[in-house]
Chain A
Amino acid sequence: KNQVEQSPQSLIILEGKNCTLQCNYTVSPFSNLRWYKQDTGRGPVSLTIMTFSENTKSNGRYTATLDADTKQSSLHITASQLSDSASYICVVEKDYGGSQGNLIFGKGTKLSVKP
C-alpha cells in the first residue's frame, strides 16, 4: 500500500474556479510534508513545505494545510489559471535522523484548467 495517497487522481476545472486536492499519508515517523507542481515534461517545483507544528502555509494562490493528527493535507488553489494545469505531487519526508532517500512521493493529482 502506498504510504502517500492522493485524491482525486485527476481533476478538470474551469479557469477562475477554486479547487482542493487531498493527500493522506501513513508515513511515520513524520518530518515534513511538501507539495510540488510538475508541469508536463518538466521536473517538480516546490510549492510549500510544512513541518509537524505548521497547519497552514501559503504561496501566492496556493494554500496548503496539514493535520498531523489525522495525517491529512490539502492543497487549495484559488482563482485558477490555465498555467495551473499540471500534476500536483504530495511528498512526505520520513524522519530518519540523518539518512536521505526518505522522501516518499504520492502519485500526484493531474489538474486540467479549461478556458
Chain B
Amino acid sequence: GAGVSQSPRYKVAKRGQDVALRCDPISGHVSLFWYQQALGQGPEFLTYFQNEAQLDKSGLPSDRFFAERPEGSVSTLKIQRTQQEDSAVYLCASTSLMAGISNQPQHFGDGTRLSIL
C-alpha cells in the first residue's frame, strides 16, 4: 500500500502477557518513529530508527519496551509483562529523509489500540 500500515489494529491482552506490534513504513522511508498516545492526549515519542539503527530510545517508558527494525524496513515494538498502564494507541510514523533534516512531514499509520485487562 501507499501509506504506513500497522497491525494488528486492536490487541487485547491479559496483564503479564507479552505483545508485539508491527509497523510497515512507506517503502523507501529511511526514518521510522514509534509513539504512544493515551486517551485524550497527544502522541508521545517512544523511539526512532534511521534505517536499521535505533538512534534514540529515550522515550521508552521502561525496559519492558523493546523495538527493532532489523532490515531497515518493517519494525516491531514489543512490550513484555504488560501492565494496565500500557493500554494506549501505539502509532508508527515514517519520513523519507534522515534525522536532522527538518520540515519533513511524518506519515502516520492508524495505530494499534492496545488494551490490557
Contact = CB atoms under 8 A, between A and B. Distances in A.
A64 to B, nearest CB: 13
Contacts of A34: 105
Interface of B: 4, 31, 33, 40-45, 47-48, 50, 55-56, 58-59, 91, 93, 99-100, 102-103, 105-111
A78 interface: no
B110 A93 contact: no
A97 B100 contact: yes
Interface string A14-38: 0000000000000000011010000
A43 B110 CA distance: 4
10 contacts: A44-B43, A45-B108, A46-B106, A46-B107, A100-B56, A100-B99, A101-B47, A101-B48, A101-B59, A108-B42
B103 A107 contact: no
B52 to A, nearest CB: 15
A49 to B, nearest CB: 5
B113 to A, nearest CB: 8
Nearest to B48: A100
Contacts of A51: 102-103
A106 B56 CA distance: 21
The 4 closest A-B pairs by CB, nearest first: A43-B108, A105-B42, A46-B105, A98-B100
Contact of A32 (B40, B99, B100, B102): B102
Given A99-B56, A101-B45, A107-B42, A43 B103 contact: no
